[in-house]
Amino acid sequence: MDINLLVGGPQENYPADIFQTKKNWVGADYGAVTLCEHDIRPLLAIGDFDSSTIREQFLVSVLSQKVITAKPEKDETDTELCLRLIEQAFNPSQITIYGATGGRLDHLLANFFCLLRPDFAKIMPKVKLVDKNNVVRFFKPGHYTIKKIPGMKYLAFVPMGKVAGFNLPDEKYQLKDAAFEQVVSLASNEFILDEAHFDFKSGNMCVIWSKD
């Protein structure tokens, strides 16, 4: 089962076709309100909803299949809390997050860096972030084949800390047995063909498909 998660980022960053899929949605706080306003019934709505109007809170309570009310003061971001609850409730094969970019940078960085914690190790490779210009995925060590996304020219690899034995054999800019000691963005690479390959021996890797 794949789950779509809408968090509270600016709607101008949503991909144009975001609401064509009506099933398997979870809403985080105002993301739940947005889903309900687009006639989508979330499997789960999570948040404190303190910034929502009475009408919006009522809409979420009526249309959501389940509502979990969180305290405004908590140790986790809404996205972190949602990821935990989604994993517990659905054990999904993939979690696609929308609305996680374009707003507060501290939230964006929290959403990235939480995936590096040991308690998120099982969830990390399931997560995909999507906005109108980017698709972001996360990988553990291994060998991978990735496909070009139509309209997205650029391909970036971001070692999320120490990474060893990193190979890019058939991208525009290639690497062989590279090692990195800290986070770095290997930006503006490109596909040569419709698919490409990469592998690495240790660490964690973020891969970003993007367009201008």
d(CA 179, CA 202): 9
Say which amino acid occupies 89: A
Say which amino acid occupies 74: K
d(CA 201, CA 212): 31
Q: Which domains are seen in the chain, by residue range?
A: 1-132 (3.40.50.10240), 133-212 (3.40.50.10240)
Phi, psi of 154 (to 5 degrees): -100, 150
d(CA 74, CA 81): 10
pTM over 0.75: yes
Q: What is the pLDDT along the chain (212 residues), one digit of tens a residue?
A: 999 999 977 888 999 999 988 899 999 988 999 999 999 999 999 987 777 888 988 899 899 999 998 776 666 777 888 999 999 999 999 999 999 887 778 878 887 888 888 888 899 999 999 999 999 999 999 999 999 999 999 999 999 999 999 999 999 999 999 999 999 999 999 999 999 999 999 999 999 999 98
Neighbouring residues of 188: CB distance < 8 A, sequence distance ≥ 6: 154, 156
CB neighbours of residue 169 within 10 Å: 11
Neighbouring residues of 61: CB distance < 8 A, sequence distance ≥ 6: 67
